[in-house]
């Protein structure tokens, strides 16, 4: 076990507790990374102005630099500090805060129901929904919905990915018929963000990034005052960008793509880990979905770690770290330390902390809760086995049939 293998380990939390019991930062010789695991160390690193989101010498990972995916990456709020971060962040944060939770919940429920409907074979991210053009018919009635397809492991795994990205794409203004295609492009794009991506996947990611940028460009041309009044997220971002004095149109386009990519894996993981919690303890199905989802963010969060890179020599709690070092920040370990007894600094850190904390928290939790409600309308989820998708930071279950796991 090490701090990266922990992400996809069946139960990393006892190990995290050991790490979080150590004070300050510790150097891991094997990983060649500094590790911040206690709540105090995690918060201190995330609050430190010289702990940056990217290495100074490599603002864009070499593997994707030079292509469209690299261009998107280089402009993301999440991947910049300083000027390229402050105003864009404010605009995204305000636009997301302007979303009506009722509208988000209704849209996510409709899509979760439509995407979960029985359709025989051929399940993909876009299954059922686009071809039949019947967005959410029958959803929202409260009646039991025919989501029994979701008893199949591969369908359940595809569904938990499809619902969040399609919901956010829809809120941004993509027409229903394009949602499966947008989701498929996003799947190709996020694959290149992993250091585990092959060259072939990186090539596909460039194509997907280009296609998404083009689609957003076309949509931006058509945004009207009535969209703004109707509360479209796209119009909201444009209005808030204007108000924040953020007028770099490439960066705005890239961050629209970024909203989808930030949604994609993390929210799928939140839904998946909530399903896992229900499989482990079926009695929890009687709890409100929002409470279930919140509990999973605390106890089994989808984003387990993030990284920071020192721009200058720093000193955190007496530990001196040279410039140019990488720090693995164990968000999921921070609560596991000995002082985790409800003190404010022990608040869950699954959405980060400080300057880069997630502005999509409410959106993500609303989508996940809506999806879980739809799933539970047909009773507790089927008892399936699962493994975790290979990843260095995201804990996302892949459901498998019982015999495959043996
Ligand atoms: C369960 C789902 C989600 C989780 C667990 C999650 C987690 C996180 C975390 C941990 C960070 C901070 C990373 C760091 O400091 O290194 C972050 C940043 C961010 N997230 Fe989320 N996120 C989720 C969903 C979303 C959604 C739905 C959106 C928007 C549509 C979103 C937008 C962002 C953005 C724009 C940032 C960068 C903020 C900045 O750098 O200032 N996230 N997220």
| Residue-level pLDDT at 146 | 52
Find tokens 């400080």 and name the residue: 354
Neighbours of 154 (CB within 10 A): 14
pLDDT tens per residue, range 162-187: 999 999 999 999 999 999 999 999 99
Instruction: Measure the CA–CA gap between 241 and 90, rounded to whole angstroms.
Output: 8
Tens of pLDDT, residues 181-202: 999 999 999 998 888 889 999 9
**Residue of 240, 290, 304, 358 best suited for mutating to test ligand 1, as the one with most atoms within 8 Å of CB:** 358
215 touches ligand 1 (CB under 6 Å)? no
Categorize the per-residue pLDDT at 150 as very low, low, confident or very high, splitting at 50, 70 and 90.
Answer: confident
Which CATH number fits the domain that encloses residue 103? Answer: 1.10.630.10
pLDDT at 128: 36
Strands 326-329 and 33-36: parallel
116 plus 133 within the same structural domain: yes
Distance in Å, CA 49 to ligand 1 centroid: 19
> Is the per-residue pLDDT at 223 higher than 50?
yes
Q: Do 28 and 142 belong to one domain?
A: no
Residue 222 pLDDT grade (very low, low, confident, very high; cuts 50, 70, 90): confident
Ligand 1: atom nearest CA of 255 is 35
Burial class (CB in 10 A: 0-12, 13-18, 19+), 116: buried
Written as six digits, the tokens of 192 are 């290149």
Cα–ligand 1 centroid distance for 142 (angstroms): 31
**Residue 255 located in a structural domain:** yes
Ligand 1 center to residue 404 CA distance, Å? 33
Task: Please choose from 170, 307, 360, 370 the residue to mutate so as to test ligand 1's pocket, defined by most ligand atoms within 8 A of CB.
Answer: 360
Ligand 1, atom 33, lies closest to the CA of: 358
- How confident is the model over 3-16, as a mean pLDDT? 97
Q: What percent of the chain has pLDDT over 70?
A: 87
Q: How far apart are the first and last CA of the chain?
A: 22
Q: Is the CB of 306 inside a 6 Å radius of any atom of ligand 1?
A: yes
Task: Tell me the whole-structure pTM to 2 decimals.
Answer: 0.92
Same domain, yes or no, for 228 and 248? yes
Separation of alpha carbons 213 and 210, rounded Å? 5
Give the residue-averaged pLDDT of 24-34. Answer: 95
277 with 220, same domain? Answer: yes
Residue matched to tokens 């279950």: 397
- Round to whole Å and give the CA distance between 249 and 270: 32
Q: Is the CB of 364 under 6 A from ligand 1?
A: yes
pLDDT tops 70 at residue 74: yes
Sheet holding 51-52, edge to edge: 25-28, 33-36, 326-329, 306-310, 51-52
Please report the atom of ligand 1 found closest to the CA of residue 80.
40
Residue 263 CB–ligand 1 contact under 6 Å: yes
Nearest to 95 by CA among 186, 172, 163, 182: 172
Pairing of strands 306-310, 326-329: antiparallel
| H/E stretch holding 383 | none
Residues 111, 231, single domain; the answer is yes
Q: Which of 330, 349, 368 is the last residue of a domain?
A: 349
Asked whether the predicted pLDDT for residue 225 surpasses 70, the reply is no
Residue 132 — very low, low, confident or very high, per pLDDT cuts 50/70/90? Answer: very low
CA of 212 to the centre of ligand 1 (A): 20
Six-digit token string for 271: 């839904």
Instruction: Tell me the per-residue pLDDT of 309-340, one tens digit each, with 9 for 90 and over.
Output: 999 999 998 999 999 999 999 999 988 876 64
Domain that holds residue 401: 62-288+359-405
What per-residue confidence (pLDDT) applies to 151? 85
Q: Does the beta carbon of 153 sit less than 6 angstroms from any atom of ligand 1?
A: no
Q: How confident is the model at residue 126, as a pLDDT?
A: 40
Mean of pLDDT values over 57-78: 96
Domain check: are 95 and 148 in the same one?
yes
Say if 278 falls within a structural domain: yes
pLDDT score for 140: 34
d(CA 118, CA 159) in angstroms, rounded, equals: 12
Residue 293 domain-assigned (yes or no): no
Same domain, 33 and 75: no
Burial code (b: 16+ CB inside 10 Å, e: under 16) for 270-309 equals: bbbbbbbbbbeeeebbebebbebbbebbeebbbbbbbbbb
Here the CATH number for the domain that contains residue 335 is 3.30.43.20
Give the closest residue (by CA) to ligand 1 atom 30. Answer: 259
Q: Please give the average per-residue pLDDT across 133-149, as a whole number.
A: 43
Does the pLDDT of residue 48 top 60, yes or no?
yes
* Same domain (yes/no): 400, 277: yes
> What is the pLDDT confidence band of residue 118, given thresholds at 50, 70 and 90?
low
Query: In this structure, are 271 and 192 located in the same domain?
Result: yes
The overall average pLDDT reported for the chain is: 89
- 255: tokens are 């961050």
313: in domain? yes
| Closest ligand 1 atom number to CA of residue 353 | 15
Asked if residue 104 belongs to a domain, the reply is yes
User: Quick one: CA dihedral 114, 115, 121, 124, positive or negative?
Assistant: positive
Nearest CA to ligand 1 atom 4: 266
Q: How far is the CA of 13 from the centre of ligand 1 (A)?
A: 22
| 105-114 per-position pLDDT tens digit | 999 999 999 9
- Split into its structural domains, the chain has a count of 2
Looking at the domain assignment, is residue 206 inside a domain? yes
Q: What is the pLDDT of residue 166?
A: 97
pLDDT above 70 (res 12) = yes
Alpha carbon distance 44, 19 (integer Å): 16
Average pLDDT (77-100) is 97
Residues 261 and 138 occupy one common structural domain: yes
* Residue with CA nearest ligand 1 atom 34: 358
Would residue 115 count as lying in a domain? yes
Tell whether 268 is covered by a domain.
yes
pLDDT more than 90, % of the chain: 77
Same domain, 338 and 369: no
The three-point CA angle 214-109-228 to 5° equals: 45
φ/ψ (deg, to 5) at 142: 85, -10
Mark whether 45 and 71 lie in a shared domain.
no
Give CA–CA dist 268/162, Å, rounded: 8
Tell me the chain's radius of gyration from C-alpha atoms: 21
Which of 90, 38, 12 minimizes the C-alpha distance to 346?
38
- At which residue do the structure tokens 């694959």 appear? 191
Q: Is the CB of 78 under 6 A from ligand 1?
A: yes
Give the burial class of 341: count Cβ atoms within 10 A of its Cβ; 0-12 exposed, 13-18 middle, 19 or more buried: exposed
Q: Does position 136 have pLDDT exceeding 80, yes or no?
A: no
Verify whether ligand 1 is closer than 6 Å to residue 356 (CB atom): yes
């Amino acid at each position: 076990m090490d701090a990266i293998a922990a992400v996809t380990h069946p139960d990393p939390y006892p190990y995290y507790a050991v790490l979080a019991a150590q004070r300050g930062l510790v150097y891991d010789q094997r990983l060649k990374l500094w590790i911040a695991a206690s709540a105090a160390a995690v918060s201190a690193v995330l609050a430190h102005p010289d702990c940056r989101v990217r290495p100074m010498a490599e603002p864009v990972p070499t593997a994707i630099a030079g292509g469209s995916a690299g261009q998107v990456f280089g402009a993301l709020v999440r991947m910049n500090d300083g000027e390229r971060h402050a105003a864009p962040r404010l605009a995204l944060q305000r636009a997301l805060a302007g979303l009506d939770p009722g509208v988000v919940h209704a849209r996510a429920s409709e899509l979760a129901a439509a995407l979960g409907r029985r359709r025989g074979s051929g399940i993909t991210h876009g299954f059922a929904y686009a071809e039949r053009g019947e967005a959410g018919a029958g959803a929202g009635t409260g009646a039991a919905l025919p989501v029994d397809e979701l008893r199949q492991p591969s369908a359940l795994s595809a569904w938990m990915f499809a619902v969040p990205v399609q919901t956010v794409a829809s809120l941004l203004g993509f027409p229903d018929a394009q949602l499966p295609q947008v989701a498929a492009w996003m799947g190709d794009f996020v694959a290149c963000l992993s250091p585990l991506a092959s060259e072939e996947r990186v090539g596909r990611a460039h194509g997907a990034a280009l296609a998404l940028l083009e689609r957003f460009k076309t949509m931006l041309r058509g945004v009207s005052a009535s969209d703004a009044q109707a509360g479209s997220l796209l119009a909201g971002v444009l209005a808030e960008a204007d108000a924040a004095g953020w007028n770099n149109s490439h960066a705005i386009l890239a961050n629209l793509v970024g909203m989808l990519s930030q949604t994609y894996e993390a929210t799928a993981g939140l839904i998946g880990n909530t399903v896992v919690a229900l499989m482990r303890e079926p009695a929890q199905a009687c709890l409100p979905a929002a409470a279930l989802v919140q509990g999973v963010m605390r106890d089994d969060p989808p984003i387990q770690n993030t990284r920071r890179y020192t721009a200058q020599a720093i000193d955190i709690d007496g530990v001196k770290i040279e410039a140019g070092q990488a720090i693995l920040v164990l968000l999921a370990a921070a609560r596991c330390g000995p002082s985790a007894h409800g003190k404010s600094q022990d608040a869950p850190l699954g959405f980060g902390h400080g300057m880069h904390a997630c502005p999509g928290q409410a959106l993500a939790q609303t989508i996940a809760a809506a999806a879980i409600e739809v799933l539970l309308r047909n009773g507790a989820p089927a008892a399936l086995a699962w493994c975790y998708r290979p990843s260095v930071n995201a804990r996302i279950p892949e459901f498998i049939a019982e015999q495959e796991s043996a």
